[in-house]
Amino acid sequence: MTLLVGTRASPLARIQTNAVLERLLASGLDARIVPLQTRGDQSLGGDLSTHVGQFVTGLDARLLSGEVDLTVHSSKDVPTDLAESILQLGHLERAPPHDFLLFPSDHDGVLTLHELLDTPDAVTSAVDAMNHLPLNAHLGTVSVRRQAMALHLRPDLLPIAVRGAVETRLNRLLEGRADALLLAEAGLRRLAEHDALEPRHLALGALRLDLESWPCAPGQGAIAVHAARDSMHDLEALRALLDHPSTTQAVRDERRVLAQLGGGCLAPVAAHVTDSVAHVAVAEPSWRTHVARRRTPDVHRWTGSPDAFPSPSWKEVESPSQTTGPRLITTASSSRLTDEADLEKVEVVHQRVLDFELLADHWPAKAVPGHAPRRAWPWLLLSSPSAARMVIQGLELCPDLARLPWAALGRGTALAALERGHTVAFCAEAEDGAGFAAALVQSFGDDIPFLLPRSDQARPGLLDGLKTAGRNVQAWTAYRTTAAKVDPMPVEPNDVLLVTSPSAIRAWSSSGHDVPADVLCMGEASERTLLDHPEFQNTRVHRLHGPSAEALRTWWNAHLEGSAWT
């Protein structure tokens, strides 16, 4: 009787499954591989929580249907709440479980990937490795563990979703979609050993992160084999053929830590056990919110027996003390910008001036073209933090959008998405819609279509820029922006107002708020609206150029010193 071994169809999955097949064939059993596809393979999006578990559960469902007898998985992807009907037969001997930090080929001071794979003792602390990244670098990873740990060390970094097969991710790094990339050594090593990496991939710069300062994902590097619990095969005999006991014990210890924290394979938990010693790192539950506000997320670290691991307790963040002096009044709907600017001894007042309403009848029912290859799928464009928030609310209307890659106008928009669990795959450091359009035209081929959900008050720069360049863009009015009904706000003579959009400027005026002597704005459209608006004719208008938080910090310091602003 032939054993049918189910696997995903990616090159790495086939290599891992071949390792299982070789053991079966060497023992005299007849076996063959059955490539399978799951819903997790049908996504390019940055919301990993809706996809990763589907790799495992989608394959294991074929065990229960009788299509295959065994399935093979990367152990780190296996949920902690494995179905009772599924038996984990065991694990093959573990490959090195480290993470690699990869750089473009011209990165100085590091070994190439080829050289590092041949130098197994070359390890670097996480702090030293992250110091190789430039300020505000785009770091390619959709893993919440890697995101949280990296942002704990470098809160200036911006995670970018780089998904697909390992070779695809390496290509994205070479294309400049990210400044660096985090990947597991095990997968890279297996591909390299089977000549599945191109010379340009092996020429990338690489650092191996040590497992004490940067523990791996629970189970990383191990290959898990599953079977149906009611299988007619001799499962104990198969276990004896396939299982490496010390690997299985270490993986069980690591997954027990993960289960103790109530997390699955998507939790921000790192755990590595060797010689009965565990190195654990776990990020606080609210790490995304802290990152979105440019605060350093807390990470609890622990070393000791895996049986003695204590679940961490988290401190509440204290509210900043009140200050005296000029206030910064902002119409921004979150504190991200002012938190990132890190203004000292400044009282920041958030004044809501806009309300947003989804226009449910305007949303498409589907966004993924039927039977089209993933390279032909459209990119979803986020033109503002408000657009990011409304799109994520609108996923109930069109769940397909979560499967697409997302592109963001500016870091603030990308962080608004990240705070709500979605990592964008491209971020243009542009000031306005016209700049965003230019960045998209430069970075994407003519054949890439775009989807653009807009406000009813959206400026034309982004849409016109893409259409003028001959790009395929489908836009719809996704939400309505209206002035919030709030009581008028008095201001003091030395207060400064920060407005974030033309609609916020109009809403400030219509609500009857006082207008201070100094008003800050972002983008040409906001500046033009202020200069033309009758209520703001007696104000000094200052436009922030470049990265918003840095420009705000520079302006504020100059303002307090009485320096001229240009």
Q: What is the CATH number of the domain that holds 396?
A: 3.40.50.10090
**Which one, of 388, 384, 424, lies nearest residue 404 by Cα?**
424
For residue 155, CA distances in Å to 50, 136, 159, 267, 504 come to 26, 9, 10, 19, 29
Residue 369 lies in a domain: yes
Q: How far apart are CA 292 and CA 132, in angstroms?
A: 23
In a shared domain, residues 403 and 421: yes
In a shared domain, residues 411 and 453: yes
Task: Look at residue 566 in the predicted model and tell me its pLDDT.
Answer: 43
Residue 554 sits in a domain whose CATH number is 3.40.50
Q: Which residue has the higher pLDDT, 324 or 228?
A: 228
pLDDT digits (tens, 9 = 90+) for 109-130: 899 999 999 999 999 999 999 9
**Of 41, 47, 60, 77, catalytic:** 77
Q: How confident is the model at residue 40 (pLDDT cuts 50, 70, 90)?
A: low
Q: How confident is the model at residue 47 (pLDDT cuts 50, 70, 90)?
A: low
In a shared domain, residues 418 and 495: no
* Structural contact between residues 515 and 491, judged by C-beta atoms closer than 8 angstroms: yes
**Of 8, 94, 163, 471, catalytic:** 163
In a shared domain, residues 492 and 556: yes
pLDDT of 362 over the 90 cut: yes
Task: Look at residue 320 in the predicted model and tell me its pLDDT.
Answer: 53
* Structural contact between residues 215 and 63, judged by C-beta atoms closer than 8 angstroms: no
Of 53-57, 73-77, 230-234, 330-334, the one with minimum mean pLDDT is 53-57
Q: Which residue has the higher pLDDT, 379 or 52?
A: 379
Query: How many structural domains is the chain composed of?
Result: 2
Task: Look at residue 565 in the predicted model and tell me its pLDDT.
Answer: 46
**Of 265, 398, 427, 521, catalytic:** 265
Residue 220 lies in a domain: no
With pLDDT > 90 as the criterion, what percentage of the chain qualifies?
72
User: Is 420 marked active-site?
Assistant: no
Q: What is the mean pLDDT of the chain?
A: 90
For range 10-22, the mean pLDDT: 95
Which of 483, 500, 529 marks a domain boundary? 483
Residue 555 lies in a domain: yes
In a shared domain, residues 387 and 334: no
Residue 101 lies in a domain: no
Q: How confident is the model at residue 80 (pLDDT cuts 50, 70, 90)?
A: confident
Residue 99 lies in a domain: no
In a shared domain, residues 400 and 491: no
Which of 438, 465, 483 marks a domain boundary? 483
In a shared domain, residues 374 and 460: yes
pLDDT of 48 over the 70 cut: no
Helix count and strand count (H, E) for the chain:
19, 25
pLDDT digits (tens, 9 = 90+) for 307-326: 999 988 887 655 555 556 68
Residue 69 lies in a domain: no
In a shared domain, residues 472 and 508: no
- 237 in helix, strand or coil? helix
In a shared domain, residues 412 and 469: yes
User: Is 76 marked active-site?
Assistant: yes
Give the domain range for residue 371: 356-483
Residue 408 lies in a domain: yes
Which of 462, 483, 504 marks a domain boundary? 483
Q: Indicate the residue type of 119.
A: T
**Of 8, 62, 94, 146, catalytic:** 146
In a shared domain, residues 369 and 435: yes
User: Is 163 marked active-site?
Assistant: yes
Using the Cα atoms of residue 344, residue 349, residue 354 and residue 359 in order, give the sign of their dihedral: positive
* Structural contact between residues 237 and 52, judged by C-beta atoms closer than 8 angstroms: no
Task: Look at residue 203 in the predicted model and tell me its pLDDT.
Answer: 96
**Which one, of 487, 457, 464, lies nearest residue 390 by Cα?**
457
pLDDT digits (tens, 9 = 90+) for 142-186: 999 999 999 999 999 999 999 889 999 999 999 999 999 999 999
- 499 in helix, strand or coil? strand
pLDDT of 502 over the 60 cut: yes
Residue 331 lies in a domain: yes
User: Is 77 marked active-site?
Assistant: yes
User: Is 495 marked active-site?
Assistant: no
Q: Is 135 exposed, middle or buried (0-12, 13-18, 19+ CB in 10 A)?
A: exposed
For range 19-26, the mean pLDDT: 96
In a shared domain, residues 434 and 491: no
pLDDT of 475 over the 90 cut: yes
In a shared domain, residues 389 and 467: yes
**Of 8, 62, 94, 169, catalytic:** 169
pLDDT digits (tens, 9 = 90+) for 434-458: 999 999 999 999 999 999 999 999 9
